[in-house]
Structure 1
Amino acid sequence: MMRHTTVHRLLILLVIGLLAGSAVAKQALESAAGAWGRQLAQVVSDGRVSYRTLAREPGPLDAWLDQVALLDPDSLAAWPRPRQLALLLNLYNGTTLRLVRDNLPVGSIKEIGGWFRSPWSLPVVRLAGETFSLDELEHRRIRPVYNDPRIHVALVCAARGCPPLREELYTASGLEEQLDDQARRFLQRSPTKNRLEGGTLWLSPIFKWYAEDFGADEAALKAWLEPWLPGAGQARIRWTDYDWSLNAR
């Protein structure tokens, strides 16, 4: 009887310890996200980034990325899907910012990685004890899992041709509104990238590169665009040039 009671108490203590550890980890992640979010609002303006400020003050971004790297895989898997997607979008964008910051000066992210490796193939992403590439994050862990075309207006590859980087982190509670706003900003407020001009629909090559994510054919793409570009369905598509120069300010 005494042995049974002792084992029972030990199990209770173990559960309490695990819960306490989980609470501490959650608090640490939220605190780091708050600090990084405040710095993000300071370094981003109209989609452009002050990489020099990030280089002078690396602490907030690095601290948040460190906390994401320490996440428990089982806890992450149990998160609601909007919370997971918000984290992964923030992780892609934050890791990209750090990659550029750590390789300054560069005029384009494509200058990073050398002749035989693109910047998107480098093992720079750290998540829940794993290390992998930005390509892995986007093409295996985000696109096929969450299957939302708006992902392509949220991921920012540090080029001026990209959608504008938000001045805030994505959040689970605000994700739907944030993604719709990103689509609106990219399609309605970036005329050098996307515009409806007479009977011609000028589009970013992003919609060509990832055409399968927007539907089975051109008609499906136009239907997806219609809420933001009324009249897209009757227009002829042409492609704008993609600007790979750094989205710096």
Structure 2
Amino acid sequence: MAVIRIFAPLYILLEFVTIAQCFSVGSAGSNNRYLSSFVGISAPYLFERKISTSTALGAQASNLVLNEVQACEDDSEGGLSDLDQQLRISIDNLYANFLDDMGEKVDYDALSKSEEFEDYKKKAALLESFDSSALSEDFRKAFFLNIYNCLVIHGLVELGEPKTWDDRLKLYSTVSYKIGGLVLTLDDIEHGVLRGNRAGGSHKEVPFPEGDPRAGLALTLDPRIHFALNCGAVSCPPIRFYEGEEIDDQLDLSTEAYLEDIEIEEHLSTVRLPKLLDWYGSDVSSTKSPEEILEWVVPFLYEEEKAEAVKKILKSGDLIVDFLPYNWDLND
């Protein structure tokens, strides 16, 4: 018999309501072998107007579209024809200068005042006219992973650190970009696009109902995206730059890195998994079966000793799955 145990305070149990997928891949020293496989390291996308924390999130009754802040007077060559490449260069510059080597911490203050950020804002303004539906599945997946991670940072710079759980919910449900004429919040990008139009976050039903023009952006669900999205908390996966040509290998590496920190007590037939697999277990197993979740995890366990231990526990048929606590402190 399999048992799932969840030891967490009530506020943590409520977190699944709007997890925008956070990131943190364990100890700083454990991920060096993964970083070399990524061209970029982290993703901050921010804009100009800085709202005081006293009036920011609590006052937002509707979507806050951050790339409508200023008219685009971009003097760079290429325009929309090579926007993906322009964004890549701009994001790489932000990553290199304002994230730590592991992609786990962001220097929000320095980033918000930088020339690199000003350049990024010009590029991001062009997203209003960028047709992401023209991208292939792999390239669209990489595009929205990068945009999500950047929009989180942008939102945190604009609105300040969430002080309450309601603030955090509003961050994910209101902070947005206009992309190709369509407004997409963080929740829309995560649950509507990347999770294949599934309920989650602020969406009690599917984010894009029948007839919604955004429904055409929905991708085939790939559970590995949960280990690539960073919602601005310490326990989120690191921020990295994803590329369409390499997205499959990159997502494998990100998943392996995040799962390095699972805890196993073989003599107790107990495995402690990341909280993300509690919140999004149904993306791996429709019934959230502990056995099926562990079977999905095993191929991503880089350490053979851990993989073999989990296999033995699975074979025993008498297992307990716990979930590790989630640290929602700001990743600064």
TM-score (norm 2): 0.59
Which of 141, 152, 161 is residue 226 of structure 2 equivalent to?
Answer: 152
Q: Report if the CA contact (8 A) 2:259-2:274 is conserved.
A: no
Matched, 1:91 2:147: yes
Matched, 1:237 2:331: no
How many residues matched? 213
Give the Cα separation in 2 of the matches to 1:24 and 1:212: 41
- For structure 1, the residue ranges without an aligned partner over 5 or more in a row are 1-22
Larger-gyration structure (1/2): 1
Structure 2 counterpart of 1:139 = 191
Give the Cα separation in 1 of the matches to 2:99 and 2:143: 19
Q: Report if the CA contact (8 A) 1:154-1:163 is conserved.
A: yes
- For structure 2, the residue ranges without an aligned partner over 5 or more in a row are 1-77, 197-218, 302-306, 314-318
Give the Cα separation in 2 of the matches to 1:218 and 1:112: 28
TM-score (norm 1): 0.78
* Secondary structure of residue in 2 paired with 1:48: coil
Instruction: Say if 1:55 and 1:215 are closer, same or farther in 2 by CA, change over 3 A.
Output: same
Structure 1 counterpart of 2:248 = 176
* Secondary structure of residue in 1 paired with 2:251: helix
Matched to 1:41, the amino acid is A
Matched, 1:195 2:263: yes
Q: Percent identity?
A: 23
What per-residue deviation string (whole Å, max 9, x for no partner) do you get for residues 70-100 of structure 1? 203xxx2232110011101111101001001
Q: Report if the CA contact (8 A) 2:155-2:175 is conserved.
A: no
Structure 2 counterpart of 1:26 = 81
Measure how far apart 1:48 and its partner are.
Answer: 1.4
Q: Which has the higher helix share?
A: 1
Give the Cα separation in 1 of the matches to 2:300 and 2:263: 10
Structure 1 counterpart of 2:174 = 122
Give the Cα separation in 1 of the matches to 2:129 and 2:165: 26
CA RMSD of aligned residues (A): 2.2
* Secondary structure of residue in 1 paired with 2:183: strand
* Secondary structure of residue in 1 paired with 2:146: helix
Matched to 2:296, the amino acid is W
Matched to 2:327, the amino acid is D
What per-residue deviation string (whole Å, max 9, x for no partner) do you get for residues 125-181 of structure 1? 321112232111111111012210001001110011111222xx2110111111111
Instruction: Say if 1:207 and 1:114 are closer, same or farther in 2 by CA, change over 3 A.
Output: closer
Which of 151, 156, 160 is residue 100 of structure 1 equivalent to?
Answer: 156
Give the Cα separation in 2 of the matches to 1:40 and 1:162: 17
Q: Report if the CA contact (8 A) 2:151-2:175 is conserved.
A: no
Matched to 2:254, the amino acid is Q
